[in-house]
Amino acid sequence: MIETDILVVGAGPSGSLAAKEAALKGANVLLIDRKSEIGSPKRCAEGVSKEGLKELGIKPDPRWIARELDGVRLVAPDNTNVFLDTSTIPIPEAGYILERKVFDKHMAMDAARAGAEIMIKTNAKSLKRIDDGFIVEADHMGEPIEIKAKIIIAADGPESRIGRMAGLKCNTPAEHMESCVQFEMAGVDMVNNQDISLFFGSVAPGGYVWIFPKGDDIANVGIGVLKSKTDKSAYDHLVDFIKTCPETKNAQPVEINVGGDPVDGLMSDRIGDNILVVGDAAGFVNPLTGGGINSALESGVYAGIVAAQAIEDENYSKRNLKEYVKLTDEHIGKNYKKYNAAKAYLLSLSDEELNEIAAAFKDEEFSEVTPRSLIKRLIKVSPKALLKLGKLF
Ligand SMILES: Cc1cc2nc3c(=O)[nH]c(=O)nc-3n(C[C@H](O)[C@H](O)[C@H](O)COP(=O)(O)OP(=O)(O)OC[C@H]3O[C@@H](n4cnc5c(N)ncnc54)[C@H](O)[C@@H]3O)c2cc1C
């Protein structure tokens, strides 16, 4: 039987940062992932906020940055463009396009350098609660093993099972799981290959289509839809878009990525005795954009710090892990309410309303956008916005 203070299940961004932080604070840490190669296959459009990385002290490394971005292009159903410049407006998940397969590996390498032990091709299958922690049954390189841990950090992504196995109520209802499909494509004739492009309206019911540039003619072209808003699959919506969009109709795929994105907001059940849940597994995904890398990293840091302190205190009770909930509510969750309201508004708009708003904003020189100034402007453009926004705020 392998024994450790802290077992981190999942070496995505949240798990690697949790492992690194806990190891730096002196805990004995084991990080496991079921994959043969950490980071691969990716399930991500790879957009990340520059500021977010900076705040966590993660220095940009050319080995894992595919592209540095200038801004965001919002595209209305009638193809009207609105350009936002990230140097003047802070926009979540818009700063760099990562090479996730390299980034995730580097984050795990940093955890190893901090002192964490890593086991790849190790799939956690079940949990058994014992007096002072858990015994995890796992499959390592095809062989059954057992790992005894005082604390588990569940960093096992959007289809997380570890939290639930430990008795926590942390799952995303199907109606709030964005269904995503993406092709990495070559030969994309982008309107602007320094901006990410987001296409709204009936092209992607309940979500949006994205083109995220990774090179001059290389891009992640993907879609997220809510199953409750369409009878068609996300794949069929994306194929229709690619065939008809002038930027993608001659492009060719080199990779396909399929996955769920939990856009329901933070789960309240994020801790229990001997367990903390981080990243997508706990719903740390911006409900408006579907972006979760920055908050996965940040939640991992807080979990690592709190878990290491609990090891030092020799107290792994839920009560002693509460600081994690406080930190994540304060630093991450507080913004989700307004993002949820903005999303509800966006989803309430018809194609015609989106076209009207885009037409009014298309020549705008945005120097600063505050929620208040944006709402004022929206109401001026579309008096109907007053009715819809009134219900939300
Ligand atoms: C198509 C798509 C596009 C996206 N685009 C963006 C974007 O552009 N920007 C952004 O910020 N976010 C994006 N996201 C969301 C982003 O990918 C996630 O928020 C982020 O990866 C969450 O990190 P994580 O560490 O919580 O989980 P993950 O990155 O999912 O990592 C979980 C890890 O746990 C491992 N694991 C799972 N179960 C077990 C087990 N039982 N035993 C051992 N290991 C296990 C998995 O192998 C995996 O490595 C996108 C998501 C999708 C689906």
Distance 348 CA to ligand 1 centre (A): 28
Instruction: Please say if the pLDDT value at position 93 is more than 80.
Output: no
Residues contacting residue 249 through CB under 8 Å, at least 6 positions apart: 242, 243
Give a three-class secondary structure readout of 227-258.
HHHCCCCHHHHHHHHHHHCCCCCCCEEEEEEE
Mean pLDDT computed over 84-112:
86
Q: Which of 160, 161, 280, 297 to mutate to test the pocket of ligand 1 (most atoms within 8 A of CB)?
A: 280
Distance 9 CA to ligand 1 centre (A): 12
Residue 361, pLDDT score: 81
Residue 365, pLDDT score: 63
Per-residue pLDDT band at 70 (split at 50, 70, 90): confident
254 contacts 184 by C-beta, under 8 angstroms: yes
Distance 12 CA to ligand 1 centre (A): 6
Minimal-distance CA residue to ligand 1 atom 10: 291
Distance 327 CA to ligand 1 centre (A): 22
Mean pLDDT computed over 97-120:
98
Is 354 found in the same domain as 314?
Answer: no
What's the whole-number average pLDDT of the chain? 91
Q: Looking at ligand 1, which atom is closest to the CA of residue 15?
A: 25
Is 152 found in the same domain as 107?
Answer: yes
3-state secondary structure of 281: helix
Q: Pick the residue with more confidence: 324 or 94?
A: 324
Residue 61 lies in a domain: no
Residue 60 lies in a domain: no
Residue 54 lies in a domain: no
Is residue 33 marked as binding?
A: yes
Is 150 found in the same domain as 37?
Answer: yes
262 residue type, one letter: P
Question: Looking at 213, 233, 262, which one is the last position of a domain?
Answer: 262
Residue 59 lies in a domain: no
Mean pLDDT computed over 205-231:
95
Measured CA to CA, the distance from residue 269 to residue 160 in angstroms comes to 13
22 contacts 308 by C-beta, under 8 angstroms: yes
Residue 179, pLDDT score: 94
* pLDDT 10s digits, 135-153: 999 999 999 999 999 999 9
Question: Looking at 236, 262, 288, which one is the last position of a domain?
Answer: 262
* Residue with token string 């002192």: 115
Full domain range(s) for residue 16: 2-45+100-172+265-331
Mean pLDDT computed over 188-192:
95
- Residue 62: beta bridge partners? none
* pLDDT 10s digits, 1-37: 999 999 999 999 999 999 999 999 999 999 999 999 9
Q: Measuring CA to CA, which residue among 355, 230, 255 is closest to residue 45?
A: 255
Is 254 found in the same domain as 327?
Answer: no
Residue 335, pLDDT score: 81
Is 288 found in the same domain as 198?
Answer: no
Is 222 found in the same domain as 321?
Answer: no
Instruction: Please say if the pLDDT value at position 384 is more than 90.
Output: no
At how many degrees (to 10) do helices 293-313 and 322-331 cross? 150
Is residue 293 marked as binding?
A: yes
Is 145 found in the same domain as 40?
Answer: yes
Is 314 found in the same domain as 199?
Answer: no
Residue 215 lies in a domain: yes
Q: Pick the residue with more confidence: 355 or 365?
A: 355
Residue 56 lies in a domain: no
Question: Looking at 331, 353, 371, which one is the last position of a domain?
Answer: 331
* pLDDT 10s digits, 268-317: 899 999 999 999 999 999 988 889 999 999 999 999 999 999 999 999 99
- ipTM computed for the complex: 0.98
289 residue type, one letter: T
Q: Looking at ligand 1, which atom is closest to the CA of residue 13?
A: 25
Q: What is the DSSP letter of 282?
A: G
Is 247 found in the same domain as 164?
Answer: no
Per-residue pLDDT band at 319 (split at 50, 70, 90): very high
Residue 167 has which token pair? Answer: 């008795």
Q: Looking at ligand 1, which atom is closest to the CA of residue 284?
A: 19
Per-residue pLDDT band at 83 (split at 50, 70, 90): confident
Which CATH number is 213's domain given? Answer: 3.30.9.10
* pLDDT 10s digits, 244-276: 999 999 999 999 999 998 888 888 899 999 999
Mean pLDDT computed over 220-226:
96
* Residues at CB less than 6 angstroms from ligand 1: 9-15, 32-35, 43-48, 93, 123-124, 155-158, 180, 182, 222, 257, 259, 261, 279-281, 285, 290-294, 296
Q: Which of 20, 33, 257 to mutate to test the pocket of ligand 1 (most atoms within 8 A of CB)?
A: 33
Which CATH number is 17's domain given? Answer: 3.50.50.60
Distance 104 CA to ligand 1 centre (A): 10
Is residue 70 marked as binding?
A: no
Instruction: Please say if the pLDDT value at position 377 is more than 90.
Output: no
Distance 43 CA to ligand 1 centre (A): 6
Is 327 found in the same domain as 275?
Answer: yes
* Residue with token string 């708009």: 349
Is residue 206 marked as binding?
A: no
Residue 119 lies in a domain: yes
Minimal-distance CA residue to ligand 1 atom 31: 12
Is 118 found in the same domain as 154?
Answer: yes
Number of domains the chain contains? 3
Distance 10 CA to ligand 1 centre (A): 9
Is 118 found in the same domain as 41?
Answer: yes
Is residue 45 marked as binding?
A: yes
Mean pLDDT computed over 87-108:
85
Per-residue pLDDT band at 196 (split at 50, 70, 90): very high
Measured CA to CA, the distance from residue 258 to residue 379 in angstroms comes to 37
Minimal-distance CA residue to ligand 1 atom 46: 10
Number of helices and strands (H, E) in the chain? Answer: 11, 18
Measured CA to CA, the distance from residue 146 to residue 66 in angstroms comes to 39
Residue 341, pLDDT score: 83
Residue 243 lies in a domain: yes
Output the CA torsion 183→187→190→196 (10° steps): 30
257 contacts 42 by C-beta, under 8 angstroms: yes
361 contacts 375 by C-beta, under 8 angstroms: no
Q: Pick the residue with more confidence: 368 or 379?
A: 379
Measured CA to CA, the distance from residue 191 to residue 73 in angstroms comes to 9
